[in-house]
Structure 1
Amino acid sequence: MKTNKVQFITQAAMIAAIYVVLCVVFQPISYGPIQTRIAEALTVLPFFTPAAIPGLFIGCLIANLLGGGIILDVIAGSLATLIAAFATYTLRNKSKYLASVPPVVANALIIPWVLKYGYGEPLPIPFMMGTVALGEILTATIVGTILLLVLDRYRASIFKTV
């Protein structure tokens, strides 16, 4: 039992750290009204382990703080990631190709409101929903699905049951 807790915490911490590093390394495209956050490829990880849920949430929270986001962005963006991670985990028994749908939907529905009312972005909300969804499709769906397919081949050795 104790080993499972340690493994869970270790996996969550590693996922959070990788998320933050990817945001920092790709900082020029990770923040702003039109962004392609490479770290969002990791949002498929709840398909493999529930430890990805807090890992992605904490990683996004730290990345948003380091990125200089306003408090609304830090909270709402991190909650969008938490909602998406939980939804991805609940879909894990359906189809692996659905794993990237929750991040696209959650971010497209939440982030444009933050951009509009938090940062005063003049673009219309429906347009920003499209740009956020496009960024998520590029990272969570395309890159994330590639990551998911590669990791799925090694699932037993990488993601032991926690």
Structure 2
Amino acid sequence: MKNKNISFMTQAAMIAAIYVVLTYVFAPFSFGEVQVRISEALTILPVFTPAAIPGLFIGCLIGNILGGAILPDIIFGSIATLIGAFFTWKLREKSPYLAPIPPIVANILIVPFVLRYGYGVALPIPFMMCTVGIGEIISCAVLGMVLYFALKKYAKTLFAQ
């Protein structure tokens, strides 16, 4: 039992660290009305391990802090990632093609309101839902599925608990 807990925490910490690094390295297009957050490709990882749920949440939280986000963005952006990761995990046995949908939807529904009411972006919320959605589709659906198929073969070894 102790080794399983250590494995879970190690996986979560590694996922968080990778999320933070990707967010920070690609910061110029990880934030704003039009964003393609490369680190959001990692939201596919709950398909392989539940440790990805806290890992993605903590990674997003730290990434937003280091990226200079305001408090509402730190809180609600991280909650969007948490919601997306949790529901990706819930869909893990249905179809891998459904896995990117929860983080896309969570971010489409939350991030535009943060942009409007937190940052004062004057663009219409439906427009920002489209721009955030396009970025999330690129990150979660396209890059996430590339990551899924790259890891699928090695998942039992990489995510063993």
Q: Which bracket does the TM-score occupy, shorter chain normalised?
A: over 0.9
Instruction: Please say if 1:11 is aligned against 2:23.
Output: no
1:156 is displaced (CA, Å) by: 1.3
TM-score (normalizing by structure 2): 0.99
Measure, in 2, the Cα distance between the counterparts of 1:24 and 1:110. 21
What's the TM-score, normalizing by structure 1? 0.98
Using the TM superposition, name which of 57-66 and 29-38 deviates more. 29-38
Instruction: Report the CA distance between 1:68 and its aligned residue.
Output: 0.8
Matched, 1:49 2:49: yes
Stretches of structure 1 that go unaligned for 5 or more consecutive residues are: none
- Give the CA deviation at 1:131: 0.4
2:89 alignment counterpart: 89
Alignment match, 1:33? 33
Please state how far the C-alpha of 1:42 moved relative to its aligned partner. Answer: 0.2
Partner letter of residue 105 of structure 1?
A: V
Q: CA deviation at 1:39?
A: 0.2
Residue of structure 1 in register with 2:120 after alignment = 120
SS of match in other structure, 1:19: helix
Q: 2:13 matched to 1:23?
A: no
SS in 1 for 2:58: helix
Name the count of aligned residue pairs. Answer: 161
Cross-structure match for 1:138: 138
**Quick one: percent identity of the two aligned structures?**
61
Cα distance, 1:79 vs structure 2: 0.3
Distance (Å, rounded) in 2 between the aligned partners of 1:58 and 1:49: 15
- Taking the aligned partners of 2:62 and 2:155, their CA distance within structure 1 comes to 27
Displacement after TM superposition at 1:56 (Å): 0.1
Deviation at 1:16, TM superposition (A): 0.2
> Partners of 1:114 and 1:76 in 2: how far apart?
7
Shift of 1:45: 0.2
Question: What is the Cα deviation at residue 149 of structure 1?
Answer: 1.0
State how far apart, in whole Å, the 2-side matches of 1:143 and 1:154 are. 18
- How far off is 1:30 after superposition? 0.8
Opposite residue 51 of structure 1, the aligned amino acid is A
SS in 1 for 2:118: helix
- Distance in 1 (alpha carbons) for counterparts of 2:20 and 2:2: 27
- For 1:106 and 1:151, the matched residues in 2 are separated by 24
